[in-house]
Amino acid sequence: MSASRSSLSLTELLTQALHALSAPPAADQGDTFARRFPRIAVAYSGGLDSSVLLHLAAAFARTQGVQLLAFHIHHGLSANADDWQQTCRQTCAALDVQFDTSNITLANRDQSGVEEAARLGRYHALGQLCRQHNVELLLTAHHLDDQAETVLLQMLRGSGVAGMSGMDQANGAAELLGNATLLLARPLLAASRQQLEDYASSGNVAYVEDESNQDTRYARNALRHHVMPALANFFPGFQERFARAAGHAQAAQRLLITLAAQDLAASLDGEYLSVPALRRLDMDRLDNLLRYWIALRGLRMPSAAWLLELRTQLLEAKEDAQLCVTHPDCHIRRYRERVFLTPRHPAFDQDAEPQPFVWQGQASIHFSQFSGTLFFEPATYGFDPAWLRVQSMSVCLRSGGERVKLALNRPGKSLKYHYQSLDIPAWERPYLPIVFAGKQLLYAAGIGMDCQAQATVDNGIIPIAGTCIALRWQADLR
């Protein structure tokens, strides 16, 4: 951190960080931040850090003419949680800040541990509250000491460059928050915990004390109470140097992502990976590409040992082998020199009844019964939207005997013929649904749309882009 940066007050740090999220204002357009983010929210636990952030954000919101909300998550882990919730409500009322809260129950705590389960549950609930209140910017109170703890924790876990990058000052985090439009910002990331403590003391900012913060059975608390004081004793200012190291790791990670994107583009065979193309990469670049490919699909990052197993099987198995490597969230398979990332399908009934639906103009419909989403996309060729809206449609799995006619000048063929012609692996076929309008087949996933029901004008396909609706199926990966 530069001297000029470290000498800024908390108010200046927050203002500078938040204004960096919006474009510079034009001369005649007024305040850009208020136009970009008319409503912002603070993740407010009631502790020291978030209480200071709440006071700073309240002052900023007043000067910018934006509405501030505070969201509190009740984990139910402490006997004092009800009191904290009420205290947060009262503090927000005194500051004239709109308050909302969510009570959650931790999921998978026996598998991931209490810390991780609480983190995941909290962020998911915050994302839901932001969606309910039309908030597109969520502020958290992470600071410089948190960044140093995060970097050290990731190093102790043996993380790679991505893990050692620590926290960004702002990012999307759609998977964590379950909200694709939400921006998560940490405007106090350059401030030390001591600065926050000094601000709270001088400004008489009241806050609650979470007794679990003293429990050193939790890894972060153990670092905070035992390791960080020792580092400060022998290496004063180590937090700034950790943050600087995280910045270097972020720059390196950006380069790795750029390289992975280039390698992925050169390795794609349709929507799959080409094994011959993968063989042309050295091991480091191949691992980098595979991590990037998995991350693009929002899946958990695999361990180094799992990645080694995957790479070995992809490159060394016999050409006719139909291998399958299991990831916690999916299967990765090789078939005819192509690599597929496929869902770990639930054991849904292959004889399930068709699921009826009516299209009302939405971009997509999710069918949990068949573990996937049906997309309705503007296209040059497809179905007449007006016709599609009045059809009684259904989604089902094939029962045998279905035929698809892909073009007017081609005969209709059985699904089995198309699957074989298109090289669709046998494991995918039982999970590829069919869309009907009444008894008329409209679309077969993995194959395409039947031409006989597509929009026509005087028996000719409409040649204007965007006037028709094309169907596309995408399977869930979890």
pLDDT of residue 459: 43
* pLDDT grade for 463, boundaries at 50, 70 and 90: very low
Q: Stretch 23-52: mean pLDDT, rounded? A: 81
Q: Which long-range contacts (CB under 8 A, 24 or more apart) does 190-193 make?
A: 190/1, 190/5, 190/6, 190/8, 190/13, 190/17, 190/143, 190/144, 190/243, 191/10, 191/13, 191/143, 191/144, 192/143, 192/144, 192/145, 192/239, 193/49, 193/143, 193/144, 193/145, 193/146
Cα dist. 89→50, 96, 100 in Å? 14, 10, 8
Can you read off the two tokens belonging to residue 149?
Answer: 């703890």
Can you read off the two tokens belonging to residue 100?
Answer: 């909302």
Say if residues 98 and 127 touch (Cβ distance below 8 Å). no
pLDDT at 63 over 90: yes
Would you call 321 exposed, middle or buried from its count of C-beta atoms within 10 A (0-12, 13-18, 19+)? exposed
pLDDT of residue 108: 67
pLDDT of residue 143: 97
* pLDDT grade for 455, boundaries at 50, 70 and 90: low
pLDDT of residue 24: 57
Q: What is the pLDDT of residues 286-344, one digit of tens each?
A: 999 999 998 888 788 888 888 998 998 888 877 767 788 888 778 888 888 889 887 77
What is residue 374's DSSP assignment? E
pLDDT of residue 174: 77
* Fold of the domain built from segment(s) 3-243: Rossmann fold (3.40.50)
Residue linked to tokens 């103009």: 361
pLDDT of residue 70: 98
pLDDT of residue 243: 94
Q: What is the pLDDT of residues 200-212, one digit of tens each?
A: 999 999 999 988 8
Cα dist. 90→4, 126, 197 in Å? 37, 20, 21
pLDDT at 348 over 70: no
Q: What is the pLDDT of residues 374-429, one digit of tens each?
A: 999 998 888 999 999 999 999 999 888 899 999 888 888 999 999 989 888 888 88
Average model confidence (pLDDT) across the chain: 88
At a CB cut-off of 8 Å and minimum separation 6, what does 332 contact? Answer: 310, 324, 325, 339, 340, 341, 342
**Cα–Cα distance between 341 and 271 in angstroms, integer?**
10
At a CB cut-off of 8 Å and minimum separation 6, what does 109 contact? Answer: 117
Would you call 210 exposed, middle or buried from its count of C-beta atoms within 10 A (0-12, 13-18, 19+)? middle
Across 165-313, the runs of DSSP E, i.e. the strands, are 170-171, 183-185, 268-269, 272-274
Can you read off the two tokens belonging to residue 1?
Answer: 């951190």
Q: What is the pLDDT of residues 244-264, one digit of tens each?
A: 999 999 999 999 999 999 999
Sign of CA dihedral 407, 413, 418, 420: negative
pLDDT at 433 over 90: yes
The strand order across the sheet containing 67-74 reads 98-103, 67-74, 39-43, 137-139, 183-185, 170-171
Domain ranges, ordered by start, for the chain: 3-243, 270-343, 355-475
pLDDT of residue 205: 95
* Fold of the domain built from segment(s) 270-343: Chorismate Mutase Domain, subunit A (1.20.59)
pLDDT at 478 over 80: no
Residue linked to tokens 């705590």: 109
Q: Stretch 32-57: mean pLDDT, rounded? A: 95
Q: Which residue has the higher pLDDT, 227 or 173?
A: 227
Residue whose C-alpha is closest to residue 76's, from 16, 117, 112: 117
Can you read off the two tokens belonging to residue 87?
Answer: 């205290």
**Cα–Cα distance between 33 and 35 in angstroms, integer?**
5
pLDDT of residue 177: 87
Residue whose C-alpha is closest to residue 141's, from 235, 84, 207: 207
Strand partners, 327: 330
Q: Stretch 148-170: mean pLDDT, rounded? A: 92
pLDDT at 284 over 70: yes
pLDDT at 28 over 70: no
β-pairing, 364-367 vs 372-379, is antiparallel
Q: Stretch 433-457: mean pLDDT, rounded? A: 87
pLDDT of residue 236: 94
pLDDT of residue 5: 53
Q: What is the pLDDT of residues 76-94, one digit of tens each?
A: 888 899 999 999 999 999 9
Say if residues 13 and 187 touch (Cβ distance below 8 Å). yes
Query: In CATH terms, are 3-243 and 270-343 the same topology?
Result: no
pLDDT of residue 430: 85
* pLDDT grade for 466, boundaries at 50, 70 and 90: low
**Cα–Cα distance between 398 and 414 in angstroms, integer?**
11
pLDDT of residue 327: 83
pLDDT at 436 over 80: yes
